[in-house]
Amino acid sequence: MSDRIKQLIENNKEWSKQFAEKNPGIFDKLAKLQNPNYLWIGCSDSRVPANTIVGLQPGEVFVHRNIANQVNHSDLNVLSVLEYAVNVLQVNDIILCGHYNCGGVKAAMENTEHGIVDHWLRSIKDVYQGNLDEINQCSSEDDKFNLLCELNVKQQVSNICYTTIVQRAWKRGQQLSVHGLIYGLADGLLKDLEVTTNSVNQLENIYQL
């Protein structure tokens, strides 16, 4: 085993000891079930670790991360996570968390080829094109970039709400809110983009099922 992995195993030993000391019986409890209140869908970026930035412990948040926090209606991975979180874990809050300076969003703004990821990021180009008027009002490239990071979050919040999974939950009266947050790498702070959606009536008519 490499020294780097050995170090991680050592870190883990120390962490598990301290966590158990602070929370007597916690591992017995966690081994039996998970009962998180939140589903977090965020970017894979190493600087945006879900549990850490919102101060949650193991067992408190169900997490899905991918490049540029995408929720595509043909992605079995995110849909399976969403289905399990809503139907089985019955979370009450879904947090779609993006971040400023997102490399995925940046790549989508460029006119260069990056590889397979260009297919993954194509829908961000659609968000750009669909909001061209607002984006062109920005006075600098940085402002455009920041705005697109925010618009991407808002689009993914909508995409979550457009799913049959979320709309069926609302239909059966399940309390379920979908929130759009964005994280600043430079200050470590989360901002609420105030697009919280908790009923089918908040969706554009064509997306209501």
Strand 190-192 relative to strand 93-99, pairing: unpaired
- Using CB under 5 A as the binding rule, whether residue 160 contacts Co ion is answered as no
102 is catalytic: yes
Q: Report the site for Co ion in 24-63 (rule: CB under 5 A).
A: 43, 45
65: left (phi over 0), alpha (psi -120 to 50) or beta: beta
Query: Given CA atoms 2, 6, 9, 15 in this order, what sign does their dihedral have?
Result: negative
Q: Kindly state the smallest distance separating residue 99's Cβ from Co ion, in Å.
A: 6
Q: What angle do CA 96, 99, 105 make, to 5 degrees?
A: 100
99 is catalytic: yes
Question: In this complex, which beta carbon is closest to Co ion, that of residue 81 or of residue 149?
Answer: 149
Question: In this complex, which beta carbon is closest to Co ion, that of residue 54 or of residue 89?
Answer: 54
Q: Where are the beta strands (DSSP E) in the chain?
A: 38-43, 61-66, 93-99, 177-183, 190-192
Q: Which of 41, 85, 102, 149 binds Co ion (CB under 5 A)?
A: 102
> Which of 64, 99, 149, 179 is an active site residue?
99
Q: Report the catalytic residues.
A: 43, 45, 47, 99, 102
> What is the contact surface with Co ion in residues (CB under 5 A)?
43, 45, 102, 104
